[in-house]
């Protein structure tokens, strides 16, 4: 498996410095948070996109994915949601990223079946753009649909290879789903896995990998049993927890922990 980290852990850090961290600490890739407050977002000009892609190539680091914030099950018209997804897909294509992350974001006051049908319809439409650009849309286990069983209710009706799943191990754990259950639901659709650690369900501030309660070893084990050999991305949510320890000082230890887990389950 390959290892990446998310720029959510180093908010606002310029791309050259992000790449310096990746190369110094042995990470194969970076997940780029696509937000206007970050150096990389859909508002970049063609020249800025080309420059960013060149920086990654020169560093020998891959752009794992573009982490967007589009909520595909949100109420409202389809057009604005589809436009957001298309912008993210184009950015991913221009940077050479294979994946775009989206959220479910269903309104809890609306019937679940209605929200899921909306999400499936939008993803099915966006899949054609994704196919044309050679990028895959990944629906993350998050917010209204935090387990694999939840996400598959949307992905099943879509039935398109360019639409898959992103497994966030914290949200499936908070949803009470066992790693084997998540893996069984998502394995045919899995793009990559976000790993992290926290102290408890009540305290979700980020911790160094291995320092909390999340079942990282078990998650890697069930993936290995299925011969899955994709990406693990450390999403350290420093952006939302300013008092959390800075990520740069934790990157080497995080990599060592993942390698240890992989060795134990090999």
Please report the pLDDT score of residue 263 as a whole number. 87
Does position 30 have pLDDT exceeding 70, yes or no?
A: yes
Does position 61 have pLDDT exceeding 70, yes or no?
A: yes
Instruction: Concatenate the DSSP letters of all residues of 156-171 into one string.
Output: HHH--TTEEEEEEHHH
pLDDT in tens, 111-159: 999 999 999 999 999 999 999 999 999 999 999 999 999 999 999 999 9
Q: Specify the CATH superfamily of domain 2-265.
A: Divalent-metal-dependent TIM barrel enzymes (3.20.20.150)
CA 180 from centroid of its chain's CA atoms: 19
Does position 265 have pLDDT exceeding 70, yes or no?
A: no
3-state DSSP assignment of residue 225: helix
Instruction: Give the chain's mean pLDDT.
Output: 97
pLDDT in tens, 83-93: 999 999 999 99
Q: Which of 251, 196, 240 is nearest to 11 (CA)?
A: 240
Please report the pLDDT score of residue 264 as a whole number. 60
Beta strands in 180-265, from DSSP E residues, in sequence order: 190-195, 231-234
Which secondary structure element, helix H or strand E, spans residue 66, and what is its range? strand 62-71
Which residue in the block uniquely carries the two structure tokens 């011969």? 227
Could you state, in order of their start, the residue ranges of all structural domains in the chain? 2-265
> Contact, 175 vs 146, CB < 8 A?
yes
Q: At residue 77, what are phi and psi to the nearest 5 degrees?
A: -75, 155
Please report the pLDDT score of residue 266 as a whole number. 43
């Amino acid at each position: 498996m390959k290892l990446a980290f998310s720029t959510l852990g180093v908010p606002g850090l310029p791309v050259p410095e992000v790449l310096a961290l990746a190369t110094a600490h042995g990470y194969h890739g970076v997940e780029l948070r696509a937000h206007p407050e970050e150096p990389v977002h859909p508002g970049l000009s063609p020249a800025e996109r080309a420059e960013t892609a060149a920086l990654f190539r020169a560093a020998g680091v891959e752009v794992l994915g573009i982490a967007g914030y589009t909520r595909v099950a949100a109420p409202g018209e389809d057009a604005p949601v589809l436009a957001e997804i298309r912008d993210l897909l184009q950015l991913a294509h221009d940077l050479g990223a294979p994946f775009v992350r989206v959220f479910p974001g269903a309104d809890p006051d609306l019937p679940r079946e209605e929200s899921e049908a909306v999400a499936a319809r939008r993803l099915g439409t966006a899949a054609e753009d994704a196919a044309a650009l050679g990028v895959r849309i990944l629906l993350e286990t998050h917010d209204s649909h935090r387990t694999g069983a939840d996400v598959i209710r949307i992905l099943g009706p879509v039935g398109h290879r360019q639409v898959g799943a992103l497994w966030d191990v914290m949200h499936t754990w908070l949803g009470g789903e066992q790693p084997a259950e998540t893996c069984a639901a998502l394995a045919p659709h899995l793009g990559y896995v976000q790993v992290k650690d926290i102290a408890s369900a009540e305290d979700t501030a980020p911790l160094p990998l291995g320092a909390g309660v999340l079942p990282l070893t078990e998650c890697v084990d069930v993936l290995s049993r299925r011969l899955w050999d994709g990406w693990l991305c450390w999403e350290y949510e420093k952006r939302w927890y300013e008092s959390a320890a800075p990520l740069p000082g934790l990157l080497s230890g995080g990599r060592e922990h993942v390698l240890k887990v992989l060795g134990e389950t090999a």
